[in-house]
Structure 1
Amino acid sequence: MPTQPAGQAPPSDPAPHRHRRMAESFGVDAERYDRTRPSYPDAMVERIAATAPGPGVLDVGCGTGTAARQFQAAGCTVLGVEPDARMADFARRSGVEVEVAAFEAWDPAGRTFDAVVAGTAWHWVDPVEGAAKAARVLRPGGRLALFWHVFDLPPALAGAFTEAYRQVMPDSPFTIDPRAPRSAMDGYRPLFDKAADGVREVGGFDEPERWRFDWERSYTRDEWLDQLPTSGALTTLPPDGLARVLEGAGAAVDAMGGVFTMSYATVVVTAARTGEAGPA
């Protein structure tokens, strides 16, 4: 579920959660988002569910309900919190209970949960405020699990996308830095570190861990171009700019024979709620 320019490291901006316009732009085409974004590894869902003390899950930034439905299928009872009413409406139609709010402002109304999860969403949450809210709503032993897909596009495809995006939005805070690390995993490590540091800062959790799940998916030209408009870098582009980016990406896939295989790693930053007093 890429939210940055496809195949590149996440934005270098130290506080992406402040870019509310982009954070709440994904509902512009909720049906496409749900149709094209990859789901999460079943092994990941099963491990999170198995290490939580019970079945009650709070899904932060649940979007169209992709992860929520997977946790439901694993036997969990899920409540989603989503700031975009369009995404929340789609999730409700797919069978997920959702409340519309930014997580930091959401009122739990005394409710507690066995797990708080966030799929490709925690970078839109203030890492300290979010961890403090999670600590307040988790039962002792409850699990906080924050996860992202990380992937590296084939170099030719990444280069074509980068060049097209730079031409269309050279002043964007999410414009790709040519000095950025070549490995997407290297680029994501500061994001993982920031999430873990937020957990450590608020207290009430054991030491954060990282779990990794590797998998692959093949894309045709049409499948990849169908997904691209759902990325955070593109949801706010005007139609002509989006068309230029898709043209460049499509030409690159054509040059590769019209199909390519993407290697994904889904990384989880996770910690268990201790019995100690957390933030008030």
Structure 2
Amino acid sequence: MVSRDNSSTSFGTAAEVYESARPEYPSDSVAWLLEPAFASGRTPRVADVGAGTGKLTRSIVAAGCDAIAVDPDTAMLDALRIAVPGVPTLVGTAESLPVDDESLDGVLLGQAWHWVDPVAASREIGRVLRPGGVLGLVWNIRDESQAWVRRLNSVVLRGGAMAMFDDGPPPIAEPFDHLEERRWAWSRTVNRSLLTDLVRSRSFYITASVTERSRIDQDLAALFDELGLQGSTTIGLPYVSRAFRCTRPHRDT
């Protein structure tokens, strides 16, 4: 992952909170992303790039792939090795992958493409994918169709992914062309503590000043009090998972 500031490499300072608070991805969305990777009939070798603590990595493993995890933050990779033992971990970014040419059947990024330079990343991922290999992108987006989620988002900011989607589908470049998209609506049961940690796992909170963090905490507490979220009381946090895929073209014969 890259960013125009240091936000994309800030997560390691909150790796434990990130691991406990961030949701995983619907298994159907991961299976759909990986469909082209299984076309060869062999066990696909798939990289989770911007892997973080392995939220997407574990789903890649569960789908039957030979996974590797790539992230620029060593603290996140340390947490990943605990959460998903046995998966090789490599320090790198979407723009600079430490793997050989045409050695992968898939490259997946979860909650990460909005951090990258899409032209450089597309070129580099095209280098490491075999012809027919798949580039897969997925985000868990809080569903703003509910008023309380809109209120939550007004407190915690909409984030880089939402700003990117305001302009259309994720930008890609050669050798990739058109992205297919699928969406899955689902809900996660959360309580006050988990929602608080979810906010505290976000880059804008991690990099905020002490004064700004205090303001956010106060606004969250007011919202949670209004919702009656006390102790073990739970609420359904609605999500829409947006998944996109594109295959590397085969060479002309």
- TM-score bracket for the superposition, by shorter chain length: 0.7 to 0.9
In structure 1, C-alpha distance between the alignment counterparts of 2:158 and 2:60, rounded to whole Å: 34
Q: Does structure 1 residue 82 correspond to structure 2 residue 94?
A: no
Task: Look up the SS of the partner of 2:56 in the other structure.
Answer: helix
Code of the aligned partner of 1:26: F
Give the letter for the 2:169 counterpart: D
Determine if contact 1:113/1:139 at 8 Å carries over to the other structure: yes
Stretch deviating more after TM superposition (135-144 or 98-107): 98-107
Q: 1:72 aligns with which of 44, 55, 61?
A: 61
Using a 3 Å threshold, how does the CA distance of structure 1 residues 62 and 115 change in structure 2: closer, same or farther? same
Q: Is the Cα–Cα contact under 8 Å of residues 7 and 207 in structure 2 kept in the other structure?
A: yes
User: After TM superposition, where is structure 1 displaced by more than 3 Å over at least 4 residues in a row?
Assistant: 152-162
Q: CA RMSD in A?
A: 2.5
- Secondary structure class of the residue paired with 2:236: strand
Corresponding residue number in structure 2 for 1:262: 237
Aligned mate of 1:221, from 186, 192, 201: 192
Pair 1:37 & 2:22 matched: yes
Q: Deviations over 1:120-140 (max 9, x none)?
A: 011111111111111111111
Map residues 150-161 of structure 1 onto 2, 5 A cutoff: 150-153=141-144, 154-156=146-148, 158-159=150-151
Matches within 5 A, 1:243-262: 243-258=214-229, 259-262=234-237
Give me the whole-angstrom Cα distance separating, in 2, the residues matched to 1:234 and 1:115.
32
Runs of 5+ consecutive residues of structure 1 not aligned to the other structure: 1-15, 166-174, 178-183
Paired letter, 2:57 = A
The question of 1:125 aligning with 2:96 is answered no
Question: Tell me, what secondary structure is at the counterpart of 2:205?
Answer: coil
Structure 2 CA distance for partners of 1:161 and 1:139, relative to 1, 3 Å: closer
Q: What TM-score do the two structures reach when normalised by structure 1? A: 0.77
Q: How many Å separate the matches in 2 of 1:60 and 1:242? A: 29
Report whether the alignment pairs 1:142 with 2:133.
yes
Q: CA deviation at 1:156?
A: 4.6
How much does 1:68 deviate?
0.5
Aligned counterparts of 1:176 and 1:92: Cα–Cα separation in 2: 30
Give the match for residue 179 of structure 2.
Answer: 208
Q: Structure 2 length as normaliser, TM-score?
A: 0.85
Contact kept? 1:123, 1:191, Cα under 8 Å: no
What's 1:181 paired with? none
Preserved contact between residue 24 and residue 55 of structure 2 (Cα < 8 Å): yes
Cα 1:219–1:132 shift into 2, 3 Å: same
Residue type of the partner of 1:139? R
**Structure 1 counterpart SS, 2:190:** strand
Aligned to 2:204: 233
Contact 1:161–1:248 under 8 Å retained in 2:
no
**Length, aligned pairs only:** 240
With over 3 angstroms needed to count, the CA separation of the structure-2 counterparts of 1:191 and 1:28, relative to structure 1, is farther
Higher relative contact order (CA 8 A, sep 6+): 1
In the other structure, the counterpart of 1:107 is 98
